[in-house]
Structure 1
Amino acid sequence: MYPILLLTLLINAVAMKQVDPKVELVANNMEWLGQAAVKVICQGKTIYIDPYKLTKSDSADIVLITHSHSDHWSIDDIKKVVTSKTTLIAPIECLDEVKDLPAKAKIGVIPGFKQTVDGIAIEAVPAYNVVKTKFHGRDKNFVGYILNLDGVKLYHTGDTERIPEMKSINADIILLPLGQTYTMNSVEEAAESAKDVKASIAIPIHYGMYEGTSADAEKFKSLLEGSITVIIKKPR
Protein backbone atom coordinates (compact mmCIF):
# COMPACT_ATOMS: atom_id res chain seq x y z
CA MET A 1 0.00 0.00 0.00
CA TYR A 2 2.69 2.49 1.02
CA PRO A 3 4.77 2.04 -2.18
CA ILE A 4 1.63 2.69 -4.26
CA LEU A 5 0.84 5.83 -2.25
CA LEU A 6 4.41 7.04 -2.62
CA LEU A 7 4.32 6.44 -6.37
CA THR A 8 1.03 8.35 -6.65
CA LEU A 9 2.46 11.32 -4.77
CA LEU A 10 5.56 11.26 -6.96
CA ILE A 11 3.51 11.21 -10.17
CA ASN A 12 1.42 14.14 -8.92
CA ALA A 13 4.52 16.09 -8.00
CA VAL A 14 5.99 15.61 -11.46
CA ALA A 15 2.69 16.46 -13.18
CA MET A 16 2.15 19.68 -11.20
CA LYS A 17 3.64 22.61 -13.05
CA GLN A 18 5.99 24.45 -10.71
CA VAL A 19 4.91 28.03 -10.05
CA ASP A 20 7.52 30.71 -10.58
CA PRO A 21 7.60 33.17 -7.63
CA LYS A 22 7.04 36.09 -10.05
CA VAL A 23 3.91 34.39 -11.37
CA GLU A 24 2.69 33.72 -7.85
CA LEU A 25 3.26 37.37 -6.91
CA VAL A 26 1.15 38.66 -9.80
CA ALA A 27 -1.64 36.19 -8.99
CA ASN A 28 -1.66 37.07 -5.31
CA ASN A 29 -1.70 40.82 -6.02
CA MET A 30 -4.68 40.53 -8.37
CA GLU A 31 -8.08 41.44 -6.94
CA TRP A 32 -11.29 39.84 -8.16
CA LEU A 33 -14.05 42.43 -7.86
CA GLY A 34 -16.95 40.17 -8.79
CA GLN A 35 -18.31 38.91 -12.13
CA ALA A 36 -15.45 39.38 -14.66
CA ALA A 37 -14.03 42.50 -13.01
CA VAL A 38 -10.43 42.39 -11.86
CA LYS A 39 -7.83 44.88 -10.70
CA VAL A 40 -4.13 44.28 -11.20
CA ILE A 41 -1.26 46.44 -9.98
CA CYS A 42 2.07 45.71 -11.66
CA GLN A 43 5.07 47.72 -12.82
CA GLY A 44 3.63 50.67 -10.92
CA LYS A 45 0.49 50.65 -13.09
CA THR A 46 -3.12 50.11 -12.06
CA ILE A 47 -5.12 48.04 -14.53
CA TYR A 48 -8.84 47.28 -14.50
CA ILE A 49 -10.53 44.69 -16.70
CA ASP A 50 -14.32 44.86 -17.10
CA PRO A 51 -14.94 47.05 -14.01
CA TYR A 52 -18.42 46.36 -12.63
CA LYS A 53 -20.33 47.23 -9.46
CA LEU A 54 -17.31 49.01 -8.01
CA THR A 55 -17.70 50.21 -4.43
CA LYS A 56 -15.24 53.10 -4.75
CA SER A 57 -13.49 55.33 -7.25
CA ASP A 58 -9.88 54.87 -8.33
CA SER A 59 -7.37 56.21 -10.85
CA ALA A 60 -6.54 53.60 -13.48
CA ASP A 61 -3.64 53.71 -15.91
CA ILE A 62 -5.27 51.17 -18.22
CA VAL A 63 -8.89 49.99 -18.49
CA LEU A 64 -9.62 46.97 -20.68
CA ILE A 65 -13.12 45.99 -21.79
CA THR A 66 -13.82 42.56 -23.30
CA HIS A 67 -17.25 43.20 -24.84
CA SER A 68 -20.37 45.34 -24.84
CA HIS A 69 -22.66 43.42 -22.46
CA SER A 70 -23.69 45.58 -19.52
CA ASP A 71 -21.94 43.50 -16.86
CA HIS A 72 -18.64 44.11 -18.67
CA TRP A 73 -19.20 47.45 -20.39
CA SER A 74 -20.62 49.41 -17.44
CA ILE A 75 -20.21 53.10 -18.20
CA ASP A 76 -21.05 54.15 -14.63
CA ASP A 77 -18.23 51.96 -13.33
CA ILE A 78 -15.81 52.97 -16.07
CA LYS A 79 -16.33 56.59 -15.05
CA LYS A 80 -15.24 55.69 -11.52
CA VAL A 81 -11.75 54.68 -12.65
CA VAL A 82 -11.03 56.65 -15.84
CA THR A 83 -9.07 59.89 -15.49
CA SER A 84 -7.00 62.06 -17.80
CA LYS A 85 -4.10 59.60 -17.40
CA THR A 86 -6.11 56.51 -18.42
CA THR A 87 -5.87 54.55 -21.65
CA LEU A 88 -9.24 52.92 -22.36
CA ILE A 89 -9.11 49.85 -24.60
CA ALA A 90 -12.39 48.31 -25.77
CA PRO A 91 -14.10 46.74 -28.77
CA ILE A 92 -14.72 49.37 -31.43
CA GLU A 93 -18.52 49.28 -31.01
CA CYS A 94 -18.21 50.49 -27.41
CA LEU A 95 -16.21 53.65 -27.91
CA ASP A 96 -18.92 55.75 -29.58
CA GLU A 97 -20.71 55.80 -26.23
CA VAL A 98 -17.84 57.46 -24.35
CA LYS A 99 -16.70 60.24 -26.65
CA ASP A 100 -16.80 62.73 -23.78
CA LEU A 101 -14.90 60.56 -21.31
CA PRO A 102 -11.68 62.39 -20.28
CA ALA A 103 -9.30 59.51 -21.01
CA LYS A 104 -5.75 60.07 -22.23
CA ALA A 105 -6.46 57.71 -25.13
CA LYS A 106 -9.29 55.50 -26.37
CA ILE A 107 -8.32 52.52 -28.49
CA GLY A 108 -10.78 50.32 -30.36
CA VAL A 109 -9.78 46.67 -30.75
CA ILE A 110 -10.66 43.45 -32.51
CA PRO A 111 -9.03 40.02 -32.07
CA GLY A 112 -5.42 40.22 -33.19
CA PHE A 113 -4.77 43.68 -31.75
CA LYS A 114 -1.31 44.08 -30.21
CA GLN A 115 0.12 47.19 -28.58
CA THR A 116 2.37 48.18 -25.72
CA VAL A 117 0.76 50.70 -23.37
CA ASP A 118 2.68 52.24 -20.47
CA GLY A 119 5.31 49.52 -20.85
CA ILE A 120 2.77 46.67 -20.75
CA ALA A 121 2.33 44.51 -23.86
CA ILE A 122 -1.36 43.87 -24.54
CA GLU A 123 -2.86 41.41 -27.01
CA ALA A 124 -6.56 40.97 -27.80
CA VAL A 125 -7.58 37.39 -28.58
CA PRO A 126 -10.90 35.85 -29.67
CA ALA A 127 -13.66 35.16 -27.15
CA TYR A 128 -16.86 33.49 -28.32
CA ASN A 129 -19.38 30.70 -27.88
CA VAL A 130 -19.13 27.54 -29.95
CA VAL A 131 -22.46 26.12 -28.74
CA LYS A 132 -24.39 29.03 -27.20
CA THR A 133 -23.70 31.34 -30.12
CA LYS A 134 -26.62 33.70 -29.46
CA PHE A 135 -24.78 35.11 -26.45
CA HIS A 136 -21.26 35.67 -27.77
CA GLY A 137 -21.13 34.93 -31.49
CA ARG A 138 -17.75 34.79 -33.14
CA ASP A 139 -18.85 37.45 -35.62
CA LYS A 140 -19.20 39.97 -32.78
CA ASN A 141 -15.41 40.25 -32.43
CA PHE A 142 -15.54 40.12 -28.63
CA VAL A 143 -12.14 39.65 -27.02
CA GLY A 144 -10.08 38.33 -24.18
CA TYR A 145 -6.74 39.89 -23.26
CA ILE A 146 -3.21 38.64 -22.71
CA LEU A 147 -1.07 41.02 -20.66
CA ASN A 148 2.68 40.73 -20.28
CA LEU A 149 3.26 41.91 -16.72
CA ASP A 150 6.99 42.10 -16.09
CA GLY A 151 7.46 38.82 -17.95
CA VAL A 152 4.35 37.14 -16.52
CA LYS A 153 1.60 36.39 -19.05
CA LEU A 154 -1.88 36.94 -17.64
CA TYR A 155 -4.80 35.76 -19.80
CA HIS A 156 -8.30 37.10 -19.07
CA THR A 157 -10.48 35.03 -21.38
CA GLY A 158 -13.52 37.29 -21.48
CA ASP A 159 -16.87 35.57 -21.95
CA THR A 160 -16.07 32.45 -23.89
CA GLU A 161 -16.43 28.73 -24.17
CA ARG A 162 -13.41 26.49 -24.70
CA ILE A 163 -12.26 27.51 -28.17
CA PRO A 164 -9.59 26.05 -30.50
CA GLU A 165 -7.49 29.24 -30.32
CA MET A 166 -6.68 28.51 -26.69
CA LYS A 167 -4.27 25.76 -27.68
CA SER A 168 -2.01 28.31 -29.36
CA ILE A 169 -1.87 30.50 -26.24
CA ASN A 170 0.84 30.15 -23.61
CA ALA A 171 -0.18 31.82 -20.35
CA ASP A 172 1.22 31.71 -16.85
CA ILE A 173 -2.10 32.74 -15.28
CA ILE A 174 -5.58 32.23 -16.69
CA LEU A 175 -8.71 34.00 -15.45
CA LEU A 176 -11.76 32.24 -16.84
CA PRO A 177 -15.53 32.01 -16.38
CA LEU A 178 -17.20 29.13 -14.58
CA GLY A 179 -20.81 30.01 -15.30
CA GLN A 180 -22.48 27.47 -17.56
CA THR A 181 -25.45 29.50 -18.75
CA TYR A 182 -23.69 32.05 -20.95
CA THR A 183 -20.04 30.96 -21.05
CA MET A 184 -18.42 27.56 -20.48
CA ASN A 185 -20.64 24.54 -21.03
CA SER A 186 -19.35 22.77 -17.93
CA VAL A 187 -16.80 23.08 -15.16
CA GLU A 188 -14.90 20.27 -16.86
CA GLU A 189 -14.66 22.39 -20.02
CA ALA A 190 -13.23 25.27 -18.00
CA ALA A 191 -10.61 22.94 -16.51
CA GLU A 192 -9.60 21.72 -19.96
CA SER A 193 -9.28 25.34 -21.10
CA ALA A 194 -6.76 25.98 -18.34
CA LYS A 195 -4.77 22.99 -19.54
CA ASP A 196 -4.97 24.17 -23.16
CA VAL A 197 -3.08 27.38 -22.38
CA LYS A 198 -0.53 25.54 -20.23
CA ALA A 199 -1.18 27.78 -17.24
CA SER A 200 0.59 27.24 -13.95
CA ILE A 201 -2.13 29.16 -12.05
CA ALA A 202 -5.86 29.25 -12.81
CA ILE A 203 -8.24 31.70 -11.15
CA PRO A 204 -11.98 31.16 -11.69
CA ILE A 205 -14.15 34.28 -12.17
CA HIS A 206 -17.59 35.12 -13.59
CA TYR A 207 -19.57 33.00 -11.15
CA GLY A 208 -21.71 33.62 -8.10
CA MET A 209 -23.65 36.58 -9.50
CA TYR A 210 -25.74 35.58 -12.53
CA GLU A 211 -24.44 32.07 -13.20
CA GLY A 212 -22.17 29.53 -11.55
CA THR A 213 -21.65 28.82 -7.86
CA SER A 214 -18.94 28.52 -5.23
CA ALA A 215 -19.40 24.76 -5.48
CA ASP A 216 -18.39 25.02 -9.14
CA ALA A 217 -15.18 26.77 -8.10
CA GLU A 218 -14.36 23.98 -5.66
CA LYS A 219 -15.07 21.37 -8.33
CA PHE A 220 -12.81 23.27 -10.76
CA LYS A 221 -10.03 23.18 -8.18
CA SER A 222 -10.42 19.45 -7.59
CA LEU A 223 -10.39 18.70 -11.33
CA LEU A 224 -7.01 20.43 -11.69
CA GLU A 225 -5.47 19.12 -8.49
CA GLY A 226 -2.01 17.77 -9.21
CA SER A 227 -1.63 19.63 -12.52
CA ILE A 228 -2.46 23.34 -12.14
CA THR A 229 -2.57 25.50 -9.03
CA VAL A 230 -6.05 26.93 -8.57
CA ILE A 231 -6.54 30.08 -6.50
CA ILE A 232 -10.13 30.74 -5.45
CA LYS A 233 -10.50 34.42 -4.62
CA LYS A 234 -13.29 36.13 -2.75
CA PRO A 235 -14.79 39.11 -4.59
CA ARG A 236 -13.89 42.46 -2.99
Structure 2
Amino acid sequence: MSTTRRTFLATGAALGGSVILPFTAKAAAHGGNTFEVDGGQIVVHPVNHASVVLETPIGVIYADPVGDASQYADFPEPDMIFITHEHGDHYNAETIQAVSKAATQLVTNIAVYDMLPPDLQMKAQQAANGESVDVSGLMVEAVPAYNITEGRLDFHPQGRDNGYVFEIGGRRIYISGDTEGTPEMRALEDIYLAFVSMNLPFTMAADQAADAVSEFAPTYVYPYHYRGRDGGTQDPEEFASLMAETDAETEVRIGDWYEPGEV
Protein backbone atom coordinates (compact mmCIF):
# COMPACT_ATOMS: atom_id res chain seq x y z
CA MET A 1 0.00 0.00 0.00
CA SER A 2 1.35 3.43 -0.94
CA THR A 3 0.75 6.71 0.83
CA THR A 4 0.45 10.04 -0.90
CA ARG A 5 3.54 11.79 -2.11
CA ARG A 6 4.64 15.10 -0.64
CA THR A 7 5.38 16.64 -4.01
CA PHE A 8 3.39 17.33 -7.11
CA LEU A 9 4.44 16.32 -10.60
CA ALA A 10 4.48 19.02 -13.21
CA THR A 11 3.71 17.36 -16.51
CA GLY A 12 5.69 18.38 -19.58
CA ALA A 13 4.34 18.76 -23.08
CA ALA A 14 5.21 15.20 -24.06
CA LEU A 15 5.13 11.84 -22.33
CA GLY A 16 8.30 11.45 -20.35
CA GLY A 17 8.79 15.21 -20.03
CA SER A 18 7.86 15.34 -16.34
CA VAL A 19 9.90 16.96 -13.65
CA ILE A 20 9.31 17.14 -9.91
CA LEU A 21 8.69 20.65 -8.66
CA PRO A 22 7.81 21.79 -5.14
CA PHE A 23 4.50 23.54 -4.59
CA THR A 24 3.46 25.65 -1.62
CA ALA A 25 3.36 24.21 1.86
CA LYS A 26 -0.43 23.99 1.72
CA ALA A 27 -0.44 22.02 -1.52
CA ALA A 28 2.41 19.79 -0.46
CA ALA A 29 0.56 18.94 2.73
CA HIS A 30 -2.26 17.49 0.66
CA GLY A 31 0.12 15.47 -1.48
CA GLY A 32 -0.48 13.97 -4.89
CA ASN A 33 -0.27 10.65 -6.64
CA THR A 34 0.65 10.20 -10.30
CA PHE A 35 -0.74 7.52 -12.59
CA GLU A 36 0.59 6.82 -16.07
CA VAL A 37 -1.95 6.74 -18.90
CA ASP A 38 -1.70 6.87 -22.67
CA GLY A 39 -0.54 10.35 -23.64
CA GLY A 40 0.63 11.48 -20.23
CA GLN A 41 -0.27 11.28 -16.56
CA ILE A 42 -3.16 11.71 -14.19
CA VAL A 43 -2.15 13.54 -11.02
CA VAL A 44 -4.55 13.19 -8.09
CA HIS A 45 -4.79 16.02 -5.57
CA PRO A 46 -7.02 15.34 -2.56
CA VAL A 47 -8.49 18.64 -1.38
CA ASN A 48 -10.95 17.87 1.43
CA HIS A 49 -13.58 15.23 2.26
CA ALA A 50 -15.32 14.76 -1.13
CA SER A 51 -13.40 17.34 -3.16
CA VAL A 52 -10.61 16.24 -5.49
CA VAL A 53 -8.61 17.79 -8.34
CA LEU A 54 -7.37 15.65 -11.23
CA GLU A 55 -4.74 16.94 -13.64
CA THR A 56 -5.03 14.88 -16.82
CA PRO A 57 -3.72 14.90 -20.41
CA ILE A 58 -7.09 16.25 -21.60
CA GLY A 59 -7.51 18.94 -18.97
CA VAL A 60 -8.07 19.62 -15.29
CA ILE A 61 -11.11 18.11 -13.58
CA TYR A 62 -12.56 19.24 -10.25
CA ALA A 63 -14.98 16.85 -8.54
CA ASP A 64 -17.42 18.32 -6.01
CA PRO A 65 -15.44 21.49 -5.21
CA VAL A 66 -16.79 23.16 -2.06
CA GLY A 67 -15.44 25.34 0.71
CA ASP A 68 -13.23 28.40 0.59
CA ALA A 69 -11.89 29.06 -2.89
CA SER A 70 -8.43 29.61 -1.40
CA GLN A 71 -8.14 25.81 -1.06
CA TYR A 72 -7.83 25.69 -4.85
CA ALA A 73 -5.41 28.57 -5.29
CA ASP A 74 -2.42 26.29 -5.91
CA PHE A 75 -4.17 24.14 -8.50
CA PRO A 76 -4.69 24.87 -12.20
CA GLU A 77 -8.12 26.26 -13.07
CA PRO A 78 -10.66 23.58 -14.00
CA ASP A 79 -11.57 22.71 -17.56
CA MET A 80 -14.40 20.53 -16.22
CA ILE A 81 -16.30 20.32 -12.94
CA PHE A 82 -18.34 17.26 -11.99
CA ILE A 83 -21.02 17.59 -9.30
CA THR A 84 -22.53 14.41 -7.86
CA HIS A 85 -25.44 15.87 -5.84
CA GLU A 86 -26.74 18.87 -3.94
CA HIS A 87 -25.56 18.26 -0.37
CA GLY A 88 -23.40 21.07 0.96
CA ASP A 89 -20.26 18.94 1.17
CA HIS A 90 -20.55 18.29 -2.59
CA TYR A 91 -22.18 21.37 -4.14
CA ASN A 92 -21.62 25.06 -3.51
CA ALA A 93 -22.43 27.50 -6.28
CA GLU A 94 -20.25 30.27 -4.84
CA THR A 95 -17.21 28.02 -4.78
CA ILE A 96 -17.81 26.90 -8.35
CA GLN A 97 -18.16 30.49 -9.52
CA ALA A 98 -14.97 31.47 -7.71
CA VAL A 99 -12.79 28.67 -9.10
CA SER A 100 -14.20 28.48 -12.65
CA LYS A 101 -12.75 30.07 -15.73
CA ALA A 102 -14.79 31.28 -18.69
CA ALA A 103 -14.52 28.00 -20.59
CA THR A 104 -15.09 25.64 -17.65
CA GLN A 105 -17.79 23.06 -18.37
CA LEU A 106 -19.97 21.44 -15.72
CA VAL A 107 -21.63 18.04 -15.46
CA THR A 108 -24.29 17.66 -12.76
CA ASN A 109 -27.14 15.44 -11.74
CA ILE A 110 -30.59 16.73 -12.66
CA ALA A 111 -31.39 18.10 -9.20
CA VAL A 112 -28.26 20.25 -9.08
CA TYR A 113 -28.75 21.45 -12.65
CA ASP A 114 -32.11 22.90 -11.63
CA MET A 115 -30.43 24.73 -8.72
CA LEU A 116 -27.60 26.30 -10.69
CA PRO A 117 -27.55 30.08 -11.07
CA PRO A 118 -28.01 31.16 -14.69
CA ASP A 119 -24.33 31.85 -15.36
CA LEU A 120 -23.37 28.31 -14.33
CA GLN A 121 -26.35 26.64 -15.95
CA MET A 122 -25.25 28.05 -19.30
CA LYS A 123 -22.00 26.08 -18.95
CA ALA A 124 -23.57 22.88 -17.60
CA GLN A 125 -24.90 19.58 -18.86
CA GLN A 126 -27.24 17.43 -16.79
CA ALA A 127 -27.06 13.65 -16.68
CA ALA A 128 -29.65 11.32 -15.20
CA ASN A 129 -28.67 7.95 -13.76
CA GLY A 130 -27.38 5.75 -16.57
CA GLU A 131 -27.00 8.57 -19.10
CA SER A 132 -23.75 9.70 -20.73
CA VAL A 133 -22.82 13.21 -21.83
CA ASP A 134 -20.06 14.41 -24.14
CA VAL A 135 -17.81 17.04 -22.57
CA SER A 136 -15.41 18.25 -25.27
CA GLY A 137 -15.01 14.69 -26.50
CA LEU A 138 -14.87 13.09 -23.03
CA MET A 139 -17.80 10.74 -22.52
CA VAL A 140 -18.95 10.94 -18.90
CA GLU A 141 -21.35 8.25 -17.65
CA ALA A 142 -23.62 8.95 -14.68
CA VAL A 143 -23.59 5.92 -12.37
CA PRO A 144 -26.49 5.65 -9.89
CA ALA A 145 -25.46 6.62 -6.36
CA TYR A 146 -27.86 5.80 -3.53
CA ASN A 147 -28.39 4.14 -0.16
CA ILE A 148 -29.60 0.56 0.13
CA THR A 149 -29.59 0.00 3.91
CA GLU A 150 -32.77 0.48 5.94
CA GLY A 151 -32.50 3.64 7.99
CA ARG A 152 -30.23 5.37 5.48
CA LEU A 153 -32.51 5.47 2.45
CA ASP A 154 -33.56 9.11 2.89
CA PHE A 155 -29.99 10.40 2.75
CA HIS A 156 -29.47 9.49 -0.91
CA PRO A 157 -32.65 8.14 -2.49
CA GLN A 158 -32.41 5.97 -5.57
CA GLY A 159 -32.61 7.85 -8.86
CA ARG A 160 -31.40 11.28 -7.73
CA ASP A 161 -27.61 11.34 -7.28
CA ASN A 162 -24.71 10.47 -9.55
CA GLY A 163 -21.33 8.88 -9.44
CA TYR A 164 -19.26 9.25 -12.63
CA VAL A 165 -17.19 6.99 -14.87
CA PHE A 166 -15.01 8.37 -17.65
CA GLU A 167 -12.00 7.20 -19.63
CA ILE A 168 -8.76 9.13 -20.06
CA GLY A 169 -5.72 7.77 -21.85
CA GLY A 170 -7.21 4.30 -22.03
CA ARG A 171 -7.92 4.18 -18.28
CA ARG A 172 -11.39 4.21 -16.73
CA ILE A 173 -11.91 6.36 -13.63
CA TYR A 174 -14.80 6.11 -11.16
CA ILE A 175 -15.87 8.79 -8.70
CA SER A 176 -18.55 7.31 -6.45
CA GLY A 177 -20.18 10.34 -4.88
CA ASP A 178 -22.32 9.39 -1.88
CA THR A 179 -23.45 5.81 -2.21
CA GLU A 180 -23.42 2.37 -0.72
CA GLY A 181 -22.20 -0.75 -2.50
CA THR A 182 -25.03 -0.85 -5.00
CA PRO A 183 -25.46 -3.45 -7.74
CA GLU A 184 -24.41 -0.76 -10.23
CA MET A 185 -21.14 -0.19 -8.37
CA ARG A 186 -20.45 -3.91 -8.09
CA ALA A 187 -21.08 -4.36 -11.81
CA LEU A 188 -18.46 -1.82 -12.89
CA GLU A 189 -15.78 -3.21 -15.18
CA ASP A 190 -12.20 -2.29 -16.09
CA ILE A 191 -11.89 0.49 -13.53
CA TYR A 192 -8.30 1.65 -13.18
CA LEU A 193 -8.73 4.37 -10.55
CA ALA A 194 -11.64 4.66 -8.11
CA PHE A 195 -12.68 7.08 -5.38
CA VAL A 196 -15.13 5.41 -2.99
CA SER A 197 -17.03 7.04 -0.14
CA MET A 198 -17.42 5.52 3.31
CA ASN A 199 -18.96 7.10 6.41
CA LEU A 200 -21.96 6.61 8.66
CA PRO A 201 -24.80 7.17 8.72
CA PHE A 202 -24.65 8.73 5.26
CA THR A 203 -22.95 6.12 3.07
CA MET A 204 -21.37 2.86 4.30
CA ALA A 205 -18.94 1.37 6.78
CA ALA A 206 -15.38 0.39 5.88
CA ASP A 207 -16.24 -3.31 5.72
CA GLN A 208 -19.17 -2.66 3.37
CA ALA A 209 -16.95 -0.52 1.16
CA ALA A 210 -14.24 -3.18 1.04
CA ASP A 211 -16.78 -5.84 0.15
CA ALA A 212 -18.16 -3.80 -2.75
CA VAL A 213 -14.79 -2.59 -4.03
CA SER A 214 -13.35 -6.11 -4.00
CA GLU A 215 -16.13 -7.17 -6.34
CA PHE A 216 -15.39 -4.67 -9.11
CA ALA A 217 -11.66 -4.73 -8.25
CA PRO A 218 -10.20 -1.47 -9.54
CA THR A 219 -6.46 -1.31 -9.99
CA TYR A 220 -6.23 1.55 -7.49
CA VAL A 221 -8.76 2.91 -5.01
CA TYR A 222 -8.84 5.94 -2.77
CA PRO A 223 -11.19 5.76 0.21
CA TYR A 224 -12.57 9.25 0.64
CA HIS A 225 -15.51 11.06 2.27
CA TYR A 226 -14.85 9.08 5.47
CA ARG A 227 -15.65 11.71 8.11
CA GLY A 228 -19.01 10.74 9.65
CA ARG A 229 -21.42 11.75 12.38
CA ASP A 230 -21.97 10.44 15.90
CA GLY A 231 -18.96 8.13 15.75
CA GLY A 232 -19.54 7.23 12.12
CA THR A 233 -16.11 8.29 10.84
CA GLN A 234 -14.42 5.36 9.08
CA ASP A 235 -10.73 4.46 9.20
CA PRO A 236 -9.06 4.30 5.76
CA GLU A 237 -6.32 2.10 7.21
CA GLU A 238 -8.96 -0.39 8.32
CA PHE A 239 -10.39 -0.30 4.81
CA ALA A 240 -6.91 -1.01 3.42
CA SER A 241 -6.47 -3.94 5.79
CA LEU A 242 -9.84 -5.37 4.80
CA MET A 243 -8.99 -5.00 1.12
CA ALA A 244 -5.72 -6.86 1.69
CA GLU A 245 -7.75 -9.83 2.94
CA THR A 246 -9.74 -10.08 -0.29
CA ASP A 247 -8.72 -11.73 -3.54
CA ALA A 248 -8.91 -8.41 -5.38
CA GLU A 249 -5.56 -7.18 -6.67
CA THR A 250 -6.39 -3.61 -5.76
CA GLU A 251 -3.88 -1.15 -4.36
CA VAL A 252 -5.30 1.22 -1.76
CA ARG A 253 -4.04 4.79 -1.81
CA ILE A 254 -4.51 6.90 1.33
CA GLY A 255 -4.96 10.59 0.59
CA ASP A 256 -4.67 13.58 2.92
CA TRP A 257 -8.36 14.49 2.85
CA TYR A 258 -8.43 16.10 6.29
CA GLU A 259 -6.20 18.32 8.37
CA PRO A 260 -4.72 16.69 11.48
CA GLY A 261 -7.44 16.36 14.13
CA GLU A 262 -10.20 17.28 11.68
CA VAL A 263 -11.78 13.83 11.71
Give the TM-score category using the shorter length.
0.7 to 0.9
| Higher strand proportion (structure 1 or 2) | 2
- CA distance in structure 1 between the partners assigned to 2:92 and 2:228 by the alignment: 15
**Which residue does the alignment assign to 1:187?**
206
8 Å CA contact 1:85–1:104 kept in 2: the answer is no
Tell me how far 1:224 sits from its aligned partner.
Answer: 1.3
Q: Between 168-177 and 226-235, report the one with greater CA deviation.
A: 226-235
1:235 aligns with 2:257: yes
**Which residue does the alignment assign to 1:222?**
241
- CA displacement, residues 7-38 of structure 1 (integer Å, 9 cap, x when unaligned): xxxxxxxxxxxxx8539x53xx1111111111
Task: Give the percent of matched residue pairs that are identical in Structure 1 and Structure 2.
Answer: 27
Q: Which aligned pairs between 1:44-63 and structure 2 lie closer than 5 A?
A: 44-53=58-67, 54=69, 55-57=71-73, 59-63=77-81
Q: Which aligned pairs between 1:173-212 and structure 2 lie closer than 5 A?
A: 173-184=193-204, 186-208=205-227
Aligned residues: 212
TM-score, normalised to structure 2's length? 0.73
- CA displacement, residues 166-216 of structure 1 (integer Å, 9 cap, x when unaligned): 2321111110112122001x2111011211222011101102375754x61
1:70 aligns with 2:92: no
**Which residue does the alignment assign to 2:13?**
none
What is the RMSD of the two structures over their aligned residues, measured on CA atoms? 2.4
**Which residue does the alignment assign to 1:22?**
37
**Which residue does the alignment assign to 2:170?**
151
- CA distance in structure 2 between the partners assigned to 1:67 and 1:152 by the alignment: 24
**Which residue does the alignment assign to 2:156?**
136
- CA distance in structure 2 between the partners assigned to 1:41 and 1:116 by the alignment: 19
Which sections of structure 1, spanning at least 5 residues, go unmatched? 1-19
Does 1 or 2 have the higher relative contact order (CA < 8 Å, sep 6+)?
Answer: 1
8 Å CA contact 2:146–2:178 kept in 1: the answer is yes
Change (3 A) 1:48 1:212: farther
- CA displacement, residues 99-133 of structure 1 (integer Å, 9 cap, x when unaligned): 33257621111111212322322111100000110
Q: Describe the SS at the equivalent of 1:130.
A: coil
Which sections of structure 2, spanning at least 5 residues, go unmatched? 1-34, 259-263
- CA distance in structure 1 between the partners assigned to 2:235 and 2:72 by the alignment: 29
Q: Which runs of 4+ in 1 moved over 4 A?
A: 209-213
**Which residue does the alignment assign to 1:12?**
none
Q: Describe the SS at the equivalent of 1:172.
A: strand
Tell me how far 1:160 sits from its aligned partner.
Answer: 0.3
8 Å CA contact 2:62–2:81 kept in 1: the answer is yes
Aligned match of 2:192 in 172, 183, 192?
Answer: 172
- CA distance in structure 2 between the partners assigned to 1:114 and 1:190 by the alignment: 25
Change (3 A) 1:82 1:199: same
| Higher helix proportion (structure 1 or 2) | 1
TM-score, normalised to structure 1's length? 0.81
- CA displacement, residues 36-61 of structure 1 (integer Å, 9 cap, x when unaligned): 11110112401011002242455211
